[in-house]
Amino acid sequence: MAEPEGAIPAATVIVMREVPGGPPELLMVERAAAMRFAGGALVFPGGRVDPGDYALAAVLGVGADDMAARIAAIRETLEEAGVAVGVSVTAGAIPELRRALYAGEPMGALLPDLRPGDLVPFARWLPNMVTHRIFDTRFYLARAPEDCVPVVDGNENVRAFWMSAAEVLAEADAGRASVIFPTRRNLERLARYRSYADAVADALAHPVRTITPWIEERGDGRHLCIPDDLGYPVTSEPMSAAMRG
């Protein structure tokens, strides 16, 4: 299948924190309703890979595309939700760091001790049957820093919170939240894990391959499908349901 032209490189982080006696909770943010992409939807923090991310990746001297995406994921999680993954930052330093990043100061100078290797590749999605801009998004797993408290960026997002994957899906099914197709499929996969270690083990067992959903005509109508060998428990869904978010 040909890849969509002009896809925008992007990165997102599935930040997980352990909960005694229960499944891990995920860091979710609610997009502002006015946003052109996924307005009003619950998503994982992330965004596009900027030129500065590529420049820093080149300085670090390793796999440019993956490294730039990891850097973008670290930056966006800090900017959007005030949560520092892949870097050592004290809680008290985060507000000033976020202001500096929003002002465009170089990330390499602000955060010289980046640990992009802390992020574990989980998935890569490249939809092509969408009306909005097309994003080529790499998803990474990261363990939540201890006692981190997410904040709202006041720009793209209106809410930031912790919730298990199963609870987010229940909110969406009850009509109290909106999730887009890739987010739903990832939440279904994440709902199977009982710990961060489970998530990492499953990610390592399923090497990342770009997922571009396709439509199949079946006896009961058209279905939106994804590959069945990448660890996802649900790999097809009627178009009427797939488009509900």
Q: Identify any residues that bridge with 12 across adjacent strands, giving them in sequence order.
A: 46, 139
The reply to whether 219 falls in a domain is: no
Whole-number percent of the chain with pLDDT over 70: 90
The reply to whether 42 falls in a domain is: yes
* CA nearest neighbour of 182 among 134, 116, 119, 150: 134
Given this model, what pLDDT does residue 131 score?
58
* Enclosing domain of residue 58: 8-204
Q: Which of 53-57, 83-87, 132-136, 240-244 has the lowest mean pLDDT?
A: 240-244
CA 42, CA 29: separation in Å to the nearest integer? 6
Given this model, what pLDDT does residue 63 score?
67
Given this model, what pLDDT does residue 108 score?
85
The reply to whether 197 falls in a domain is: yes
The reply to whether 147 falls in a domain is: yes
User: Cβ contacts of residue 51 below 8 Å, gap of 6+?
Assistant: none
Which residue would you say has higher pLDDT here, 141 or 130? 141
This prediction's pTM: 0.92
The reply to whether 217 falls in a domain is: no
Q: What is the mean pLDDT of residues 212-224?
A: 91
The answer to whether the beta carbons of residues 55 and 47 sit under 8 Å apart is: no
**194 has a pLDDT exceeding 60:** yes
Q: What is the mean pLDDT of residues 78-94?
A: 91
The reply to whether 228 falls in a domain is: no
Given this model, what pLDDT does residue 5 score?
59
DSSP secondary structure string for all residues of the chain = -PPPTTPEEEEEEEEEEEETTEEEEEEEEEEPTT-TTTTT-EE-SEEEPPHHHHHHHHHHTS-HHHHHHHHHHHHHHHHHH----SS---GGGHHHHHHHHHTT--HHHH-TT--GGGSEEEEEE---S-SS--EEEEEEEEEPPTT------SSSEEEEEEEEHHHHHHHHHTTS----HHHHHHHHHHTT-SSHHHHHHHHHHS---EE--EEEEETTEEEEE--SSSS-S--EEEHHHHT--
* CA nearest neighbour of 224 among 129, 126, 124: 129
As for how many domains the chain has, the answer is: 1
**214 has a pLDDT exceeding 80:** yes
Supply the CATH number for residue 20's domain.
Answer: 3.90.79.10
**3 has a pLDDT exceeding 50:** no
The reply to whether 36 falls in a domain is: yes
The reply to whether 195 falls in a domain is: yes
**54 has a pLDDT exceeding 90:** yes
